[in-house]
Structure formats: structure tokens, C-alpha cells
Structure 1
Amino acid sequence: MEILKLAPVGKDYLWGGTRLQENFGKQINLNPLAETWECSVHPDGQSIVVNGSFAGMTLAEVFCRKPEYLGTKVGEKKELPILVKFIDAKQDLSVQVHPDDDYAREYEGDNGKTEMWYVLETDKGARLIYGFEHPVTEELLRKAITDGELDKHLHKVQIQKGDCFYVPAGVVHGIGAGALIAEIQESSNVTYRVYDYDRVDKNGQKRPLHFEKAVSVMDMQPAKVVQKKNRFVRYYPGCSREIVCRCKYFETEHICVRKGFSFTAREESYQIFLCLDGEGQVETVDERRKPVRFRKGDCLFIPAGIGRCHLLGETELLKVRC
């Protein structure tokens, strides 16, 4: 078994910026660079392994050869159920919603999309859209979009670095201008745009909206409190750790490392490390395996069953598992 260091695929959506190149070292020749899919096997963008005996292969190709890397919890399909990405919103993203698994599989041939956001950087006044301020109906929304008044029905949340939000399928949402975010989601690329601020793309065309599908899947009730506050942080001699989100699809832990810590990758689940700051290396107890170094912006895939590992350095990480 090998620890896999991954290279992402970039997306040049019109609302993106340049911070992923400038602040996270992404050597991707896209302008704007809106997203980097750091750990992905989705057909719309697949990560590439850059180290070891699998160098040059897609992560999906590795799993075809080594399905045991995923662990026993993923089920008989042996597919990576999540997608990990960075998002740089120089402009507002569209007001959008994602379907659940049943709807997406029936109508889109894809998974649904439940996700979480971990806020990395914000400009002053940056906000998110999360659900509605009051109950709405299809008729009200249709009229509001026609009249350009949708904004007054949307629930806005001010954000700052370190905030975490859980966004289940069906919740209308939008990432606001000035936010740089790490997103953990189901492995899916199904998005229904409700409103896109009448913007046009580089060809002068408005991006399509998906109102009919959107109202078929959205929760039209007022938003509930979603911001994760009063989180429980555990302190250890070399690090601090906190669970920031746990749902049926993934568990995400925020880890700040001062010296190092040890962990075990058991047979039940893979682990993914996304480096938010600093640098370090991961080594296993098997001295035949070379340590894998990483720095801010890097993503590592730790195979299920690789056993006891040690992470050394001064770094900030998100650790994801199923």
C-alpha cells in the first residue's frame, strides 16, 4: 500500500478569482481559477496521482486496481463517495440547489449532493446565502425572479475564517463574493441554478437556469441555524483536533499540528488530508515506504488498512473519511 499525493483538476467558472494560484500554489493555467477538485474520481474532473508506483494514473484507475484502498464502509460498488475541492469566489456564485440521491440518480444518472463548507479566507463583509427568510412557494419564487426581487427572500449569513456550514441536499444556497472555501461533498456534479444575476459568459451567453427542477427538490421552509459554533476541541501534546462535520456521507476533522501526531488508517475507511497551511510529512511504521511530504494546498489519500502512521510538521489540515 502507498500514500497517494494528488494533483487536482481546475475549473474556470466565470465567478472565480486568482487566490488558488497566489495563496495555495496551484500551477494551473486558468484565469479565472474558480475551483480545484483536489480528490475526485468524478468523470467531470479526476485527480491524478503524482508520486510512487501509480504516478500519472487517475485516482479512479488506482481504485480499479486496488479497490481495497477504499475500505469496507464504501460498500460493494467500491467507489469513492466524496469529492474534495477548493473554491475561490471573486464574484457571487449563482443561487442554487442540489437534489438528493434518489432524485439525482433517477433524473441525472449521478449522485445527489450534500456538502459542507469550511471557510479559509474572506474579504470584509463576505456572506453566504443559506435557505429562505420565510416560507416560500413556487409561484412566489417565479414572480420574484421575474421582478428581480429574489434577494429579499434569501437568508444571508456573515462569515469569517474558521466557520463551518453543513449544507444538505435541498437547501437553496450561494457562496458570496470574497469567500475562499474548502468544500467536502458527495461525488456529484449536479447543480440546479435558480438565479445567476443575469450574467453572461465569455461568449456573451447567459448560463442556463433550472427553475423547474430546482423547485422540485428544494426545501421551501425558512433556514435553520447551520453555522457550527461551540465546537469541542481536543488538545494533545503535538496537536489539537476537532470534528467539524459528521453526516451519513463523510466525517470531517480540523487538525492544527504543532509538532506531530499519530493515527491509524484501519480497514474500514480511507482518509484524506487537505493541507490548509504550513507543511509536513506523513510516514508509516513500515520503513520500506518513503515519507510523503506535503505543503499548503496539497491533498493526500491514505489507503484504508495501511495501518499506523505519523504526521510531522507545523501545519493545519482537514481530515476526511467515510
Structure 2
Amino acid sequence: MNILKFKPLLKTTIWGGEKIVPFKHLDSNEKQVGESWEVSGVKDNESIVAEGDYAGWKLNDLVASLKDKLVGKENYERFGNEFPLLVKFIDARQQLSIQVHPTDEQAQALGKSRGKTEMWYVMKSDADASLRSGLKQQITPEEYTAMVENDTITDALAEYSVKEGDVFFLPAGRIHSIGAGCFLAEIQETSDITYRIYDFKRKDKEGNYRQLHTKEAAACIDYTVYPDYRTKYEPRKDEPVELVRCPYFTTSVYDLTEPMTIDYSDLDSFVIFVGLSGSGEITDAEGNVTPFQAGESVLLPATMTTVKVSGTIKFLESYV
């Protein structure tokens, strides 16, 4: 089975910018593209295979057909026919809402399949870009509600100026917000459940305020205060650097200037590569060559035991 590429699902948003279309080398006139869903098994938003033997197939239909050959034995037993990761590019021209996501247990109590733990890898963003992640002061649920009502909730949040290469891990329950000027890759559980806490009194194009979920969010927020929410790591060339390891995904970054063979023979999972910068190609064990460049995301099936990546390219590697 060959490496898979998918058609991007572009999402126009009121806060979206103009970075995604050129970054992905797309022939599109769409404006205010806030998100490109790169690999998605979310119902009604499934990725479509772009080329090859399975061109036109929806991702979850492919999982149902290929089962463990695509996602791995343990993953298929755990997640069934729903692909377990959602990968996005996000371009925020304006400040996004302050929000939080429930845990799996909280989501399932509401009849949803799972909650949402996620991570951000910051790409080339505006010079003044910033984001918010976590609480910087101890507050109670009652104080949280009052701060939302009197427009001071941002005073309780940790804010970070960001640059290319910054990483933030966002376990379910961590309050957060992507700031204006941020351009990033997001890797998360397959879930689209979000509780919008505060939206800066912003109105949509019809002049209406967007729905808030202040009460639901209060029950999901982790009120623990940590000294620093940024993920620290040491960048290195030509070797994998692990960024996040959690029950939902493991993500590393590669910054290659020379060819590297990556051995997946002991891994019982699919692997996703997310191109961040540069270009190159991926050669599988049978000698099949797949071009790979910044702005592309590719899926390696679980049956693929080794690949050789060549070129000058930086990319994320994620698997479950």
C-alpha cells in the first residue's frame, strides 16, 4: 500500500487570514481561510484521498476497508472505523475566541465519542504574534464566571509572544486562545467539540454574537496553575526530536539536510508527516517515490516498515 495524500478541507472563518492558500501552493481565490483540515476523520468533514488507487475514498471508509493494515492493530481495536487524529493548519488574522475542550470522560457523558487533547507547532507567524495557554493565577469557578461577565477573563490567562518552532501542549481542560498573527500546525484527537468561553464581543457577518458555552466550560476547565505552559526542547538537525508524547499521539520534529531512513518496523500505527518548510521526497521499501514539501500532509499506512526521506525539509511526524 502506498503513501496517501488528501484533498485539503479549507475553512473560511471570520478571523481567517491569507497565509494558508499560498503556503499550500493551491490554485484558489478563497479569502479568510482560517483552517485547512489536512487529515480528518471527523464526521461530515472527512478527508478525501487525492490520488492513487484509493482516489476519491473518504478516510473513514478506507479505515473500514483496510482496518489494521492502515491504522495498526491496537489502534483499530481502540478506535474502530474512525480515524483517530485530526491535523490542521491554522492562520489567525484576528484573535480567536478563548475556549476549552472536555476530556474523553466528560465528552462521553454528553453523548460524544471523545474529548479533545491537542498540540500546536508555531510556524512562520507575524512578528507580534502571541497566544494564550493556561491560567497564570488561581481562580475558582465562580471567579471565572464573574471574569467572563465583566470582560476581564484574559487577565487570568498566561500569554506568550511566539516565534517559529514554539510548541504548546494542550491537554483537555486547559483554557487557551490563538492570538492574531499566529500561523501554526495543530494535531489533536478526532473531535470537533469546543466550548467557547469568550469571544471579545465580536459579531459575525450577520451582526450576531457567536454562541458562548460559559457554563459548560466551567465544568471542564483544569484550574491548576503551572509556572510555564510552553514545551521546551532542543532543536537538532538530521535526527528526530520528540515534542509531545501522550495517550493520544506522539509527535516529533525532523529538520533534515541529508537523507535519513526511518524504521517503523516495531511501530503498530500509521504515521502522518506534516511539511513545515523546504521540500524533498519519501521513498518506501518497494522503491516508490512520493514528492513531499512544505504545506503537504501525508499518511503512511501501518504496513509501511521503513521510509527514506531525502531533501532539505522540516516536518512533523505523528502517530498513535
Q: TM-score, normalised by structure 2?
A: 0.94
Conserved in 1, the CA contact under 8 Å of 2:275 and 2:294?
A: yes
Q: Which amino acid aligns with 1:74?
A: N
Within the alignment, does 1:227 sit opposite 2:225 as a pair? no
Cα distance in 2, alignment partners of residues 45 and 118 from structure 1: 22
| Alpha-carbon distance between aligned partners in 2 of 1:56 and 1:104, rounded to the nearest angstrom | 31
Structure-1 residue corresponding to 2:54: 54
Match of 2:298 among 292, 297, 300: 300
Shift of 1:191: 0.4
Aligned residue in 2 for 1:115: 118
Give distance in 2, aligned partners of 1:153 and 1:100: 22
SS of the residue corresponding to residue 145 of structure 1 reads helix
Distance 1:199 1:44, change over 3 A: farther
Structure 2 equivalent of residue 101 of structure 1: 104
- The size of the alignment, in residue pairs, is 316
Match of 2:146 in 1: 143
Question: How far does residue 159 in structure 1 lie from its aligned partner after superposition?
Answer: 1.2
Contact 1:70 1:270 (C-alpha < 8 Å) held by counterparts: yes
- CA RMSD of the aligned region, Å? 1.7
1:157 aligned to which of 152, 156, 160: 160
Range with greater deviation from structure 2 (41-50 or 194-203): 41-50
Could you say what secondary structure the match of 1:282 adopts? Answer: strand
The letter for the 1-side match of 2:73 is T
Matched-pair contact (CA < 8 Å) for 2:92–2:180: yes
Amino acid at match of 2:309: L
Paired with 1:115 and 1:28, the residues of 2 have a C-alpha distance of: 28
Distance 2:262 2:185 in 1: 22
* Shift in CA distance, 222/321, structure 1 to aligned 2, threshold 3 Å: same
2:17 partner amino acid: G
1:231-250 pair list within 5 angstroms: 231=234, 233=236, 235=237, 239-250=238-249
Q: Matches of residues 128-207 of structure 1 in structure 2 within 5 Å?
A: 128-207=131-210
Inter-partner Cα distance in structure 2 for 1:283 and 1:264: 12
The match for 2:272 is: 272
Unaligned runs of 5+ in 2: none
Displacement of 1:129: 0.9
User: Structure 1 residue 108: deviation in Å?
Assistant: 4.4
Is the partner of 1:90 in helix, strand or coil?
A: coil
Cα distance in structure 1, aligned partners of 2:251 and 2:221: 25
C-alpha displacement at 1:277, in angstroms? 1.2
Matched letter for residue 49 of structure 2: V
Q: Which amino acid aligns with 1:30?
A: E
Cα offset for 1:28?
4.8
> Partners of 2:30 and 2:226 in 1: how far apart?
35
TM-score (norm 1): 0.93
- Asked if the contact 1:231/1:244 (under 8 Å) is kept, the reply is no
What is the percent sequence identity of the aligned residues?
Answer: 34
8 Å Cα contact 2:134/2:229 also seen in 1 = no
Q: Is the 8 A contact 2:100 2:172 kept in 1?
A: yes
Contact 1:70 1:269 in 2 (8 A): yes
Q: How many Å apart are 1:257 and its aligned residue?
A: 1.5
- What is the one-letter code of the residue matched to 1:71? G
